[in-house]
Amino acid sequence: MSQHRFQTWRFSGQFVKGGHIRTIILLQFVHWHGTLTLPHILVLLLFLLSPTPPTLVYWHALSAGCAKINTDGCIRDGFTSGRGVIRDHTRHCIRAFSASYGNIFILEAELRVILQGIELARRMGLVDLWIETDSTMAVHCISRGGDSWVIQSILKRIRHLLSFD
């Protein structure tokens, strides 16, 4: 028997009415007795591999002379990295950047990529900055301070560059 299993979900019961609670049972390859055509496989793959529904994202216009830094830290297999983009007030991409940070906490990666974006913008002569990140914890640490000694030096540099101190 093959180690690879075809998995999908099916509803239990012969009739399922809208609004009723449904019981979900895992259907494995050994339970499948029908023929699999390419369209069936593609639909199942799309259903199983599709992420959450898309979310509309809007650009908030900036004043002339402002720049926006958008950053994101990520972790995969225990290793972190970060990336970001700097845009001007017309949405034009001025610079994109990324870095690999190794085996650190995700909050530290989020803060490091924010710091990298601010330092890069300052070297480019950009002063009036907006910073966007999806990390609420990073925003909280920058604006109110963080407890961990690991991130204190990063926070200190960010706050200095943003003139919080």
CATH of the domain at 96: 3.30.420.10
Share of the chain above pLDDT 90, in %: 32
Range of the domain at 135: 67-161
Is residue 84 pLDDT above 90, yes or no? yes
Is residue 110 pLDDT above 90, yes or no? yes
End-to-end CA distance of the chain, in Å? Answer: 65
Cα 151 to Cα 144: distance, rounded to the nearest angstrom: 13
Q: What is the pLDDT of residue 127?
A: 87
Specify whether 109 is located in the same domain as 34.
Answer: no
Which DSSP letter does residue 4 get? -
pLDDT in tens, 12-60: 444 444 444 444 444 454 445 556 667 666 666 666 666 666 666 666 7
Q: What is the pLDDT of residue 96?
A: 94
How high does pLDDT run on average in the chain?
A: 76
- Residue 118, φ and ψ in degrees, nearest 5: -65, -45
For the chain, the domain total comes to 2
Specify whether 119 is located in the same domain as 72.
Answer: yes
Within a domain: residue 122? yes
